[in-house]
A and B are shown apart, each in its own frame.
Chain A
Amino acid sequence: MTRRPWLLATSLAALTVALPLQAGEIADYAPITAERLEAPEDGNWLLTRRTYDGHGHSPLTEISTDNVSGLKVAWSLPTGPYAELSDFAALPARPAHQSPALVNDGVMFVTTPDQQIIAVDAATGEEHWRFRHELPSDIIPVHPTNRGVALWEDKLFMATLDAKLIAVSAATGEKLWEATMEEWQNGYYSTLAPLVVDGIVMAGVSGGEFGIRGFVQGFDANSGESLWKTYTIPAPGEPGSETWPGDTWKTGGGPIWITGNYDVKNGLAMWGVGNAAPWIGDMRPGDNLYTTSTIGVDPKTGEIKTHFQYHWNDSWDWDEVVPPTLMTLDGQDLAVRFARNGWIYKMDRAGGELKFIEGKPYVYQNVFTGLDENGRPSYDPERVAGTGKRADFCPSAWGGRDWPADAYNPNTGMLYISVNENHCGSAEGAPVEYEPGVLFLGSGLEMAPTEAAADHIGALQAWDIRTLEKKWQVNFKMPNWGPVLSTEGGLVFVGGTGDAMFRAFDAASGEVLWEHQMDGGIVAPPTSFEVDGKQYVAVTTGWGVDGDRFQGFIDAGMGTETKIPQGGTIWVFAL
């Protein structure tokens, strides 16, 4: 049996080295407090989306529409060499870098799909230390990625592909504690960055395709002690359990694999819950709460205080894992969500309760026949697959948007989002038997580009949240898998296309003002920060996982063969 080098290179050194990989203690590390997370300094990026409300917006203005054409590489750092993820070398997908570069007073933290945390001097790119979590050799990661760390006091937290939560010293990279969320052999794994609120570290689990019972779990940041575990699927007798027949709740899916946002005013962590399992709804008749929903969780107790379900009894694998973006506009507290199902949902969140205001599609969708006054959709029965019943539907399982984050400028009320359209799916259910740790789908996964895909598939859209009107759209022939960064300099940064370009757009018009050819496709969120009065923009290349799979389906449908460079480098730009 031969082995394929993992990512760009595989180094024996990386396989055998002790942890931490390199010593380089950070002096005077600035501890993270609740106050700093609630109101971060302009020059720092302390949370995955910078602020608890999920804006992905930097208030920095040095880099602007006037001068962005002069943006140049300040430094770059390869994230390899990499460890092999598994003895099982035939990974079902290329590993992807999906971690934002968090920056705390000049110290940057980035994670990698082979479960490294890399601490870097944010101004120079000089490494402080590396930590790597070693995975079991017989694990087979179906989504080999990691979406970053969470910061609290002098610690970092990472959730891993073997469903562990790990605490590491921010100053040294030394492991402080490790907690097991679930047994990975049963199909549980984690790819998300944890979320910390007041010393409670929250993380969730992936595995909706393996018939898990999803949950979000809260841990004491200092000790690693589990404080609560809230399942996304209620057990018999609990509220919502009436939406699951028989024992279907035990294997009903409901993964949480994207970091939640935190509604500071109402004290609620907003977590997105993914698809139900198996994929076909008639195998679990009912609404199947809280799958394809947002749940508002009290970080102290884990209690679900509010929820909103975007579509009931999912049969399309439209995970609704991205949390709503939270904002206050004209005095109204809002939660706005571009759902994977292709519709926008504008909700009121006053008093900690999610209430539907209005909705509309943002890409072509042919399943819903409408939303009622509570935002509950009605379906065209011809677009709902069943056991032995084939159905075609648009968009395909990858949705109008997938996991890549949108960005919101609180000063203009504009939201920017990467979407993919002109792709449709088909499904037909067949009975499936549950086996722990084995795919539990009950249908095929089919997707094909439509005729309109010849014009474009990917796009960047700009929406006025006040009016829920689209202001501009920039199309790309290729799919767009880029998380978005908005800046107060009037710019929108996004990668996400298979040509491996990193672009800056005029936030007002969508005009491309700057672009840079990268060493690989970008599916990681760009971030912006400041060190010694100088503004930087950071992004990590590393194409793989769903973006790569999606391109494979597009190529199969179009008869094309697209080669997208994989990359694997932290890039930092400045004027």
Chain B
Amino acid sequence: MPTIFKALLAAPLTAIAFGLGALSDASAGADTDAAETPVSSSVMEQGEALYLKNCRLCHGSKGTSGKPLAGNEMLEDADYVASVILVGPGYMASFAEHLSDDEIAMIVTYVRNSWGHAHGPMAASDVAELR
């Protein structure tokens, strides 16, 4: 089991689901190295469509509902974000069986580079390693 999964399962999942901790100013949390990696507009467009279909109900079209994603410093860690999508802690649905590695990578890339975030892309191969 990947370490990130172990950490997720050991943590209080209840706090992860809709918890509101770890909020900070997005610009303060930008990952400078990752931000230098270009993010393709095609991936962002596909990621946005997938986000609106699968994530909007809880997180809102601007990432401000449910557990807010906009300004959430946990988005700096791509593996963490992908793991949450795979596991579905607390009230959140697990998407592991429903989204491909490509699709999860595009959603992670979209949320990590929207609403003032600039954390760079995530590769599908990195999602695959987390499964």
A residues within 8 Å of B by Cβ? 1-4, 88-92, 140, 142, 426, 428-430, 432-433, 435, 437-441, 443-448, 549, 552-553, 556-557
Contacts and interface: CB of A to CB of B under 8 A. Distances in A.
Q: Is the interface of A mostly helix, strand, loop or mixed?
A: loop
Contact of A2 (B12, B21, B23, B97): B97
A430 B68 contact: yes
A556 B12 contact: yes
A75 B50 CA distance: 46
B62 interface: yes
Contact of A90 (B20, B54, B91): B54
A90 B66 contact: no
Given A437-B57, A445-B91, A432 B65 contact: yes
Contact of B12 (A4, A92, A446): A446
Interface of B: 12-15, 17-21, 23, 53-54, 56-62, 64-68, 88-95, 97-100, 103
B12 to A, nearest CB: 7
18 contacts: A1-B103, A3-B98, A88-B54, A89-B98, A90-B88, A90-B93, A140-B57, A438-B66, A441-B18, A441-B66, A444-B15, A444-B20, A444-B21, A445-B90, A446-B14, A446-B19, A556-B12, A556-B89
A290 B41 CA distance: 48
B65 A438 contact: yes
Given A3-B98, A89-B98, 7 more contacts: A2-B98, A430-B68, A432-B65, A435-B62, A438-B56, A445-B18, A557-B14
Contacts of A445: 14, 17-18, 90-91
Contact of A439 (B15, B66, B97, B98): B66
A438 B14 contact: no
Contacts of A1: 98-100, 103
B113 to A, nearest CB: 21
A468 B17 CA distance: 39
B68 to A, nearest CB: 7
Contact of A438 (B23, B61, B67, B90): B61
Contacts of B99: 1, 90
B60 to A, nearest CB: 5
A140 B59 CA distance: 14
A142 B62 CA distance: 20
Contacts of A429: 20
Contact of B18 (A435, A443, A556): A443
A161 to B, nearest CB: 14
A556 B61 contact: no
Contacts of B56: 438
A167 B91 CA distance: 33
B60 A435 contact: yes
B67 to A, nearest CB: 7
A259 to B, nearest CB: 25
A444 B91 CA distance: 10
B98 A92 contact: no
B10 to A, nearest CB: 8
A192 B1 CA distance: 42
Nearest to A561: B9
Nearest to B17: A445
A457 to B, nearest CB: 15
A435 B65 CA distance: 8
A430 B100 CA distance: 32
Contacts of B94: 90
A3 B91 CA distance: 20
Contacts of A552: 13, 90
Given A1-B98, A2-B97, A89-B98, A549 B91 contact: yes
A197 to B, nearest CB: 35
B20 A430 contact: yes
A438 B58 contact: yes
B51 to A, nearest CB: 12
A432 B60 CA distance: 10
A282 to B, nearest CB: 14
Contacts of A92: 58, 91-93
B90 A553 contact: yes
A557 B14 CA distance: 8
Nearest to B70: A433
B92 A439 contact: no
A447 B57 CA distance: 22
A435 B61 CA distance: 8
A415 B101 CA distance: 53
B62 A556 contact: no
Nearest to B18: A444
